Structure 1
């Protein structure tokens, strides 16, 4: 291609447009005709970071804590009090994920209409109430009912948060924020052990067992936090009140220039709900279905570790209280690694390489676990298993969200990704059936780690091929139709928003 074409900057012929349309070849940086003030942008970004990330991070910490604290309750006497077998415990875990999966897509589609500022806090309040009710059950069947409604009410949270982040942040600034939010699952694993250790000291108070106190204390706090945030979650970047008019305009224009979010400062295209757009994520987005496999593999490992790490560590022969404390360090290390890896993924605009590295880290962990009967080696292997699987999740989830536009297509793709993850959660509940060493689960997770690495490499190759095809298509369109930035043109602002990732100018993130 001639050098003049690769650096061409074209004004939109829409005189009313306030967005600078930049015709760049995929792989090149967009350079707005009216450059965005970096100081204003940085100030706006920091404001959003310090306001939004702590709120949604706490939402997800509470979600993960309230869903996985049943593992700590088991150590504290849940199964003994309710006379539950190992199979019944697995059923109680499984029944959580069924409604969880069923609610993911509907809630993501509803979020644009109802607003994240409404849907997210209300979900938190309601599942906090259900979590509290688990502390009042006196039978196995009562626990099953609570777990079902817990899954139904939590189901829309994680895909909803991911969709919210993809609306608020540029594609290559999203993983660090996602990791900040998701890494609280590592803290949740650590905090859960510490909290359970402390709550167990309430055992017998007011005639309530220690495992019941775990559900009650954590559930009450969740409901209270959801209620406190009901009026503080922003609906979109365009409606943030704590940004000045200049900051808001600059931030939204920067999102639009980056093919990110749903920013529409020129009003050239307003997306309306369409079932065909929902269906397109299944029929016309091979990369979404390709990512299903590594997300499924990673979900199997993450949820298995979340629910059974206390049991695995307990097999080392320590007291229940000390076991709770030993679950903390692996998750704390995972938190640090996830943040560092996310920073480099955003900096180099690459997700797949780090996802592959994380998968191979899990391979090493499960291989160590299977290759030794030494308790210290097995405990050390947990570090690699938890670090690898938990750090991979932000890579894979951001990779999925980065490569799908516009809103309803992206909302569906994100929900598909989390359906895959939570389908893995269902599988995980049936793998840990040979205590105390769970060798069967380790062998299956070793195979899944290899599978995740292999599929990530395949997706990397696919995106490289697709981006090359897009470059050739841009050349053809430029030669046949010119720059196409006028109203109704192939590279107009409205056409970019309508087609999203199907537009030839859209570059897939590798």
Structure 2
């Protein structure tokens, strides 16, 4: 290599890294979070900055640093969230309904009331999360539901319990869609499912932990003149508030302001996210940044997107069985002929196994960069499990059917929410779209709250039959989405091959988001 070539290459590299080097020079300056985000955005908007500008950074090391700061706390938050919404099932078999003189339908309404407010407040909460700091918003709503949960242990009537469940739904509404969206602000679309799965596995761990905790707390029956079921609510509510205060000081907001990353690492993470989802087959020069504008046009585009509404049916297909089991599993197992304490303990292996399978599926799905086959297989095994439950009077076969169904249900949730996030481009549209998906999807909880009626025990044939109906609808909706995505990807690939993307400016492609011909849907 001659001296001139070497000089030219050195000059190119210096120019290419100029914005990042400038960002590093501001590392020690006192900057507000808004200034830090602006500085990173300005650096990665420089046309001379490409992915090769960061080639010297170790992506695995950076992701590990992010994982260690985010995943454990988020998992703990969701564990407590699912624990607090589902522990009413454990309280029921410890005497809740008898002490409050509740009928079977009243108990079902207490379950249902939670989901009305829970679903209504999910989209507004995600919009607020986009405007506010996650490190403030998420712990704040957590304190609110922890207080509600603690006070639930003091209710004296059905109406008091009903009111508490309504307020619990309002307070908890923001956590799940908020954390799901929050993860997409840190991880690219073929990295995020593993993290969503670890986070969501807290739901199945919560089921196991709830059974163990309820078993232990049941021995406090009579302490302080309070029934054991009251202590379940009180102690778990206090724990939630304590963890919320810890989260206030340990959660980070965005990659651009993460103090545990160097300025250059922040720019690298932000750059990857901005260009995530673009067709790898086109020239880098025509790739566009994702549209992050917050306006009503973006909100309307989310509400008008067909894929979100079809995906809601997919969501119902596994969330109806999920809530059916999480709210009624101890009761269903008890009605098989087991004692109360035994029924609590028999829920544990089901949830632990489901958690392990959920994480294993996520690793494979991210590595293969596909989602739908795992959802389809999950639906098939759910059908097998509930058919076993509905077709026999044998306690062992019924328990095995529940086991199979649960292990197939839980992997579907992180797979599907990741699938939806993969196929929505533009962070604000993603926030609104995922809020719609999860809020409307969680209406399934209101349905499932009424599937297993006291009058149908011990076999609960109606409940199992309704679950089978929703699973079948989910199977059909998943197939419809796959067909639609394949068709759209083929048409866009043909358009790009014909050079049609050259007829758009980068700004126009950015505004189109996932509707741009340069965007490819994940299957």
Please give the per-residue CA displacement for 1:13-50, whole angstroms capped at 9, x wherever unaligned: xx98645889xxxxxxxx95626437522111101111
Aligned partner of 1:316 in structure 2 is 336
Question: Which ranges in structure 1 are unaligned for 5 or more consecutive residues?
Answer: 1-10, 23-30, 261-265, 482-488
Following superposition of structure 1 onto structure 2, how do residues 84-483 of structure 1 map, counting pairs within 5 Å? 84-259=102-277, 271-283=292-304, 285-433=305-453, 434-478=456-500, 481=503
Task: Say whether the 8 Å CA contact 1:37–1:250 is kept in structure 2.
Answer: no
Alpha-carbon distance, 1:451 to partner: 2.0
Aligned partner of 1:485 in structure 2 is none
Task: Say whether the 8 Å CA contact 2:274–2:290 is kept in structure 1.
Answer: no
Q: TM-score, normalised by structure 1?
A: 0.89
- Structure 1 distance, partners of 2:289, 2:63, is 25
Task: Say whether the 8 Å CA contact 2:44–2:267 is kept in structure 1.
Answer: no
- Structure 2 distance, partners of 1:198, 1:383, is 23
Alpha-carbon distance, 1:496 to partner: 4.6
SS of residue matched to 2:370: coil
Alpha-carbon distance, 1:268 to partner: 7.7
SS of residue matched to 2:273: helix
Task: Say whether the 8 Å CA contact 2:501–2:518 is kept in structure 1.
Answer: no
- Structure 2 distance, partners of 1:210, 1:479, is 65
- Give the number of aligned pairs: 475
Task: Say whether the 8 Å CA contact 2:277–2:520 is kept in structure 1.
Answer: no
Structure 1 residues 477 and 412, CA, compared in 2 at 3 Å: closer, same or farther?
same
Alpha-carbon distance, 1:259 to partner: 3.5
Question: Which ranges in structure 2 are unaligned for 5 or more consecutive residues?
Answer: 1-14, 20-41, 279-286
Please give the per-residue CA displacement for 1:239-273, whole angstroms capped at 9, x wherever unaligned: 1111112222222222223249xxxxx99887432
Match of 2:517 among 500, 504, 508: 504
Aligned partner of 1:6 in structure 2 is none
- Structure 2 distance, partners of 1:366, 1:32, is 52
Aligned partner of 1:60 in structure 2 is 78
Of the structure 1 ranges 335-344 and 412-421, higher mean CA displacement relative to structure 2 is found in: 412-421
- Structure 1 distance, partners of 2:328, 2:263, is 50
Alpha-carbon distance, 1:498 to partner: 3.0
Task: Say whether the 8 Å CA contact 2:219–2:228 is kept in structure 1.
Answer: yes
- Structure 2 distance, partners of 1:268, 1:365, is 45
SS of residue matched to 1:377: helix
Task: Say whether the 8 Å CA contact 2:323–2:448 is kept in structure 1.
Answer: yes
Of the structure 1 ranges 43-52 and 451-460, higher mean CA displacement relative to structure 2 is found in: 451-460
Please give the per-residue CA displacement for 1:327-357, whole angstroms capped at 9, x wherever unaligned: 1111111001100111111111111110000
Alpha-carbon distance, 1:478 to partner: 4.8
Structure 1 residues 344 and 141, CA, compared in 2 at 3 Å: closer, same or farther?
same
- Structure 2 distance, partners of 1:212, 1:479, is 62
Of the structure 1 ranges 346-355 and 496-505, higher mean CA displacement relative to structure 2 is found in: 496-505
- Structure 1 distance, partners of 2:468, 2:288, is 50
- Structure 2 distance, partners of 1:268, 1:318, is 58
Task: Say whether the 8 Å CA contact 1:299–1:423 is kept in structure 2.
Answer: no
Task: Say whether the 8 Å CA contact 1:118–1:230 is kept in structure 2.
Answer: yes
SS of residue matched to 1:471: helix
- Structure 1 distance, partners of 2:501, 2:358, is 45
Task: Say whether the 8 Å CA contact 2:54–2:268 is kept in structure 1.
Answer: yes
Task: Say whether the 8 Å CA contact 1:21–1:257 is kept in structure 2.
Answer: no
User: What CA RMSD, in Å, does the superposition of the two structures yield over aligned residues?
Assistant: 2.3
Task: Say whether the 8 Å CA contact 1:172–1:346 is kept in structure 2.
Answer: yes
Of the structure 1 ranges 388-397 and 60-69, higher mean CA displacement relative to structure 2 is found in: 388-397
Aligned partner of 1:81 in structure 2 is 99
Aligned partner of 1:486 in structure 2 is none
Q: TM-score, normalised by structure 2?
A: 0.87
Please give the per-residue CA displacement for 1:298-349, whole angstroms capped at 9, x wherever unaligned: 2211111100000001012121111100011111110011001111111111
Task: Say whether the 8 Å CA contact 1:187–1:332 is kept in structure 2.
Answer: yes
Aligned partner of 1:484 in structure 2 is none
Alpha-carbon distance, 1:446 to partner: 1.3
SS of residue matched to 1:258: coil
Structure 1 residues 57 and 496, CA, compared in 2 at 3 Å: closer, same or farther?
farther
Task: Say whether the 8 Å CA contact 1:467–1:508 is kept in structure 2.
Answer: yes
Structure 1 residues 272 and 32, CA, compared in 2 at 3 Å: closer, same or farther?
closer
